[in-house]
Amino acid sequence: MATELKVHMRAHKRRVLPNSKELIVNYNKRTPPETISEHNDPLRIDWTELPNDPQKAPAYFTGKDALRIPDNSTPRYKLFWPLRHGWYNEHDYDQKRALFEDIAVIIEEAIKTQLSIPRKKDWLQYACVFVVPDLYERQYVTQILDMLFRDFGFGHVCFIQESLAATFGAG
């Protein structure tokens, strides 16, 4: 790492001191560490609060709440990733039905919490634009279409490919 730093410094025409490592070590020895108060810590993680009684714990978490479950939580939770790198993650699932159920739960929770539309009967008033990859598999798109109409009850559904969505997003 020290050689990479020297190469980087020379590439940007910066002078490298011959005793720079010793200067850094001595500075770190004589300087006391600065404690950051909890309310000023920009890297502080707000862990997901779990009830003390494991019987009252929710069956699942989605979004940031799922990523911030403490490692020593009771009950223990297992993280599933139904989508990886823009594709369905079939390797972590034994059945495709479980994969699509997890996707449905994630979409439903996102609509309820992020869009503030808690009742499913209100979803009939809304239309859905679903972005699919440029190279997609037809059976997955038909499965998602079925999910959006039957399970969620959207009034209208539109599929667009991600390149077209990027074009709209670019201006």
Read off the pLDDT of residues 70-119 as tens digits, 9 standing for 90 and up: 888 888 888 899 988 878 888 989 998 899 999 999 999 999 999 998 88
Structure tokens at 148: 């959006």
- Per residue in 122-166, pLDDT tens? 888 999 999 998 888 888 899 999 999 998 989 899 999 999 999
Length of the chain in terms of residues written: 171
Cα distance between residue 64 and residue 128, in whole Å: 23
Threshold 0.85, pTM exceeds:
no
Burial 138-159 (b: 16+ CB within 10 A, else e): eebeebbeebbeeebebeeeee
